[in-house]
Chains A and B, each alone.
Chain A
Amino acid sequence: MPHTSVQQAQVQLEVMNPRGEIPPPVTLALSCRVSELATKRIVLIDNGKFGANNFLDSLAGMLKQKYPKATIVMYPKPAAQTITNLPKWYPTVKQQGDLFVFGVGD
C-alpha cells in the first residue's frame, strides 16, 4: 500500500492514484522436473542475441561430456522482435525434446 504523509497539518491535498489496475493473471505451475538427464533430449534454445550461441555451445559440450547418451538439440528462436509468433513456435520446440535451456536473455 503506498505510503501517505500523516502528520498534524494546516493543509490537506486530496489526490488520485494514476496507476492502472492490473487484471491478475492465472497462475501456472512449473512443469515437473526430470529425475536425470542421462537419456534425455535436451533442447538448447538460442534467442539470437550476439554470443548466445557461444554460451550454449559451451553448455552443449559439457552436457555431452557428462551425459554421453543424451541428445543435444540446438534450436534457434526467431529474432527477438517476433514475439507474436511464439504461440505457434512453442509446440514445435516441445516436439524436439524433453526439456530446454534458454539463453541468454536481456
Chain B
Amino acid sequence: MPGVYFITNEFLEDAKSAAKDRGMPGLRVLALPADKYYRFRASKEELQPLASTCFDSMIDALTRPLTPEEAKPSPIEKQPEGGKLQVAGRDFLDAFEKTNELFLGNHWSDGLPIVPPAPERVDKMLAGTTRSPQEIIGQVAPKNGTATVEKIAINAVMAGAKPEYFPVILAAMEGFTDRHYDLTHVQASTGSFTPVVMVDGPIAQELGFNSGIGMLGHGWRPNSTVGRALRLSLLNIGQTWPQVNDMALTGRLEAYTFFTFAEDTARSPWEPYHVSRGYKPEDSTVTVATSVNPTVFGGGAVTPWTGQGVIDSMVARVKGGGVVWPHSQTYILVLHPDCAVDLANHGYTRRSLQEYLYEQTRVPYEKLAGPVFFGHDNEVDFVRTSIADGRIRPDRAPVFLEALKPGGRVPVVQSPDDFHIMVAGGSPGYDLLFSYPGTNWANQTKRISGATLTAAGSS
C-alpha cells in the first residue's frame, strides 16, 4: 500500500535510521519544521498554512513513480563489528587519551573516561562466568545488535566493572533483551526513561552493593559500574546515539549508571522481592524495569511520617496522574526499611499492600468520560478498545468491563501484581515511587547464574 510519512524535522535522521533498520531505506518521509508544528498544533487554523506548504510534496510522494533503487533496493551490507583496533601514543597516558577520543568520536562511549577494553582485560572479565563468550544473550534495540557474552564483557571492562560483577550484568542484559521488555521504547522515546536495576539475593551482599543511605548515588563500585556496564552495553550493542535515534528530549536523569541498587532483605519485614516473584531465597536475581523520574515521599530526617501516610500519599499521586492506561502502567515502590516495618506492624504483608494500592487507586468511571484521548472519543472508549484488542489480558477483562459504567471504579493497572514493592534505603530514609507508562510487562526478573568468583550465583 503506497504511502507517505510526516514527521518533524528534528526526527528526520531518526526516521531514516529506523526505516533502514527495518529494510526500507527508501521510505518516503516528509519533514515539518518542528519549531512551527509544535507551537501551532493545538489549532487547526494555525496549522493550516503549514499544511498548505507541504501539500504538493505529499501529492508528489504519493504519485511520483518509484526510482530503480526504490523499486529494487540494494541489499544492506553487513557491517562487521569484530576485530581489534590499534591505538598509538607517545606514552601510555597519551595512548589512553587517544583511545578515549577515538571511542567518543565513534559514539562508543558515554562521555566519561572509559577503561580501554584490551583483550587481556576482556579475558579476565570473561573468567567471571562459565558462559561461553560466543553465547548470544539477545538482540538489542533499536538496531537489533547481537549481544554476545563477549560484547557485554567488552562494555563491562569499559565501565570499570570487576569480573565478579559480570554474572549480574549478564542476567540484567537477559532482562533487557527479553522479548517482553519494550527496549525500543526505552532506548528511543522522547520520554527520557531511565532503567531501574535491582539486585536481590545473597550475591548483593557478597559483592557489596549499597542498599542503604545513598543507594542511588555514587561511591559504591558495584552499584556504579554494573549500572554503567549496562548503559554502555545498551548504547554500543544497540547502536544508539542522542539526536540520531535516542530522542530522549532531556536525556535520562541517571544517564550513566541508571538507578542501580540492591534490596535490603536483612532489614525487610517481608520476603525478598525475588521470592515474591517465585524464586528461591538462595537464588540471586536482578530485576530490570523502566521509569520516568521517581517521586520522593516520606519525611526523611526532616518531618514526621507514618507508613500509612506514605502509602496514601503515593495513592494520591497515582490517582492525580489523571490518565488511565491500565493495559500498560506499572509502578515500583521502593520503601525504606523503617517504613516497611511500620506497615508490617500495622498488618500489611507485601501482598495485602499491593491489593490496597490496587483498590485505592481505582478511578471513578465519571472521570474517564471526558475529552478525546489519543485518538479515542474518551478514556472509556480507550479502555474498551484495549479490552477488545487484547491489550488488557482476557483474564482481567471482566474486572474492567464491570467498572466501565456509571458508579464503577476503573483500575489503573491490570492487577495488584503491577505494583512492585521493594525495600531499600537507610534510616532515616525516603520512599520512592517509580512509574512507567509503557508496556506492563516491562519488569523482568532474571536469575543470576554461572558465577565463578562468588559463592552466590554459581549454579
Q: CB < 8 Å: which of B24, B82, B98, B144 contacts A22?
A: B144
Q: Which of A3-43 contact B (CB under 8 A)?
A: 3-37
Does A17 lie within 8 Å of B376, measured CB to CB? no
Considering only CB atoms, which chain B residue lies closest to A30 in the complex?
A: B70
A30-B375 CB under 8 A given contacts A11-B91, A13-B118, A104-B37: no
Number of interface residues of B (CB under 8 A): 114
Which residues of the other chain, A, contact B108 by a CB distance below 8 angstroms? 17-19
Does A99 lie within 8 Å of B147, measured CB to CB? no
A10-B91 CB under 8 A given contacts A21-B82, A28-B73, A99-B1: yes
A20-B145 CB under 8 A given contacts A5-B102, A14-B85, A106-B8: yes
Which residues of the other chain, A, contact B62 by a CB distance below 8 angstroms? 33-34, 37, 99, 101
Does A25 lie within 8 Å of B76, measured CB to CB? yes
Which residues of the other chain, A, contact B50 by a CB distance below 8 angstroms? 55, 58
Which residues of the other chain, B, contact A50 by a CB distance below 8 angstroms? 41-42
Is B260 part of the contact surface with A, judged by Cβ < 8 Å?
no
Q: CB < 8 Å: which of B51, B83, B374, B389 contacts A85?
A: B389
Considering only CB atoms, which chain B residue lies closest to A58 in the complex?
A: B51
Does A5 lie within 8 Å of B87, measured CB to CB? yes
A16-B41 CB under 8 A given contacts A24-B78, A55-B51: no
Considering only CB atoms, which chain B residue lies closest to A54 in the complex?
A: B44
Which residues of the other chain, A, contact B78 by a CB distance below 8 angstroms? 21-24
Q: CB < 8 Å: which of A15, A27, A57, A88 contacts B75?
A: A27
Is B301 part of the contact surface with A, judged by Cβ < 8 Å?
no
Does A51 lie within 8 Å of B85, measured CB to CB? no
A18-B65 CB under 8 A given contacts A9-B88, A13-B87, A104-B8: no
Q: Tell me, in angstroms, the Cα distance from A53 to B84 when the chains sit together.
A: 51
Number of interface residues of A (CB under 8 A): 72
Which residues of the other chain, A, contact B439 by a CB distance below 8 angstroms? 81, 84
Which residues of the other chain, B, contact A87 by a CB distance below 8 angstroms? none
A102-B85 CB under 8 A given contacts A20-B238, A54-B43, A81-B182: no
Q: Tell me, in angstroms, the Cα distance from A98 to B91 when the chains sit together.
A: 65
Does A22 lie within 8 Å of B143, measured CB to CB? yes
Which residues of the other chain, B, contact A54 by a CB distance below 8 angstroms? 41-44, 47
Does B155 lie within 8 Å of A59, measured CB to CB? no
Which residues of the other chain, B, contact A10 by a CB distance below 8 angstroms? 89-91
Q: Please indicate which of the listed interface residues A18, A33, A77 has the most CB atoms of chain B within 10 Å of its own CB.
A: A18
Which residues of the other chain, B, contact A17 by a CB distance below 8 angstroms? 81-85, 108, 154
Does A29 lie within 8 Å of B82, measured CB to CB? no
Q: CB < 8 Å: which of B96, B184, B236 contacts A13?
A: B96
Q: Please indicate which of the listed interface residues A19, A54, A55 has the most CB atoms of chain B within 10 Å of its own CB.
A: A19
Distance (whole angstroms) from the CB of A28 to the closest CB of chain B? 5
Q: Which of A43-66 contact B (CB under 8 A)?
A: 46-48, 50-55, 57-59, 62
Which residues of the other chain, A, contact B82 by a CB distance below 8 angstroms? 17, 21
Q: CB < 8 Å: which of B87, B151, B185, B232 contacts A15?
A: B87
Which residues of the other chain, B, contact A106 by a CB distance below 8 angstroms? 7-8, 10-11, 34, 190, 247
Does A105 lie within 8 Å of B70, measured CB to CB? no
Q: Tell me, in angstroms, the Cα distance from A57 to B184 when the chains sit together.
A: 30
Q: Tell me, in angstroms, the Cα distance from A76 to B78 when the chains sit together.
A: 36
Is B64 part of the contact surface with A, judged by Cβ < 8 Å?
yes
Q: Tell me, in angstroms, the Cα distance from A27 to B20 when the chains sit together.
A: 8
Q: A59-93 toward B: CB 8 Å interface, digit per residue (1/0)?
A: 10010000000000000111111111100100001
Is B59 part of the contact surface with A, judged by Cβ < 8 Å?
yes
Does B3 lie within 8 Å of A99, measured CB to CB? yes
Is B158 part of the contact surface with A, judged by Cβ < 8 Å?
yes
A31-B119 CB under 8 A given contacts A46-B375, A76-B376, A106-B7: no
Does A30 lie within 8 Å of B28, measured CB to CB? yes
Q: Tell me, in angstroms, the Cα distance from A102 to B232 when the chains sit together.
A: 34
Considering only CB atoms, which chain A residue lies closest to B382 in the complex?
A: A79
Considering only CB atoms, which chain B residue lies closest to A6 in the complex?
A: B88
Considering only CB atoms, which chain B residue lies closest to A60 in the complex?
A: B51
Q: Tell me, in angstroms, the Cα distance from A85 to B85 when the chains sit together.
A: 42
Q: Tell me, in angstroms, the Cα distance from A3 to B62 when the chains sit together.
A: 40
Is B127 part of the contact surface with A, judged by Cβ < 8 Å?
no
Does A62 lie within 8 Å of B55, measured CB to CB? yes
Does A4 lie within 8 Å of B85, measured CB to CB? yes
Does B1 lie within 8 Å of A93, measured CB to CB? yes
Does B73 lie within 8 Å of A51, measured CB to CB? no
Does A27 lie within 8 Å of B24, measured CB to CB? yes
Which residues of the other chain, B, contact A34 by a CB distance below 8 angstroms? 2, 62-63
Does A79 lie within 8 Å of B374, measured CB to CB? yes
Which residues of the other chain, B, contact A32 by a CB distance below 8 angstroms? 2, 65-66, 71
Given contacts A11-B90, A13-B95, A58-B47, 9 further A-B contacts (CB under 8 A): A11-B89, A11-B92, A15-B85, A20-B239, A22-B239, A26-B23, A33-B62, A48-B375, A59-B55
A-B contact pairs, 14 of them (CB 8 A): A6-B88, A13-B118, A24-B77, A26-B23, A28-B73, A30-B27, A32-B65, A37-B63, A59-B51, A76-B375, A81-B328, A101-B62, A103-B7, A104-B41
Which 7 residue pairs are nearest across A and B when measured between Cβ atoms?
A: A20-B145, A51-B41, A76-B375, A20-B237, A9-B88, A103-B6, A58-B51
